Amino acid sequence: MKWIIPLSLLVLFELIADVLAKEWSLQRGYILVGGALLSYLIANSFWLFALKNGSGLARGSIIFSVASAFIAIILGLLFFKENITRTQIAGMALGLISIALILWND
């Protein structure tokens, strides 16, 4: 499971990029957009390492997608005061169940 660390770093840098992109959408500024683009580049570099170390395309991309979405929703709620619906909460729960099922045999 050497792929867990690069996949975790992928999620981390993707979220940093998402926060910088959201801040850019609210404030503008070249530093914010440059930071977002750099963070996206770093994030995708870790994706390559996750794939090389055995994450698998299907498993890795699903874990990345669900983890990124889950943490992005939490960041949106806490820092940007966005609203969440019951349907979105149900989606988060199903996403967490999907990760548990994907990792069940590892």
pLDDT tens readout for residues 23-39: 999 888 889 999 999 99
Q: With b meaning 16 or more CB within 10 Å and e meaning fewer, what string describes 21-50? A: bbbbeeeeeeebeebbeebbebbeebbebb
Confidence of residue 106 (pLDDT cuts 50, 70, 90): low
Residue 53 near residue 1 (C-beta atoms within 8 A): no
Could you list the residue range(s) of the whole structural domain that residue 10 is in? 4-102
The total number of structural domains that make up the chain? 1
Nearest to 35 by CA among 51, 56, 18, 52: 18
Q: Give, rounded to a whole angstrom, the gap between the first and last alpha carbons of the chain.
A: 8
pLDDT digits (tens, 9 = 90+) for 37-89: 999 999 999 999 999 998 888 889 988 999 888 888 888 888 888 888 899 88
Please check whether residue 47 is in contact with residue 14, taking contact to mean a CB–CB distance below 8 angstroms.
no
pLDDT bin (cut points 50, 70, 90) of residue 99 is: confident
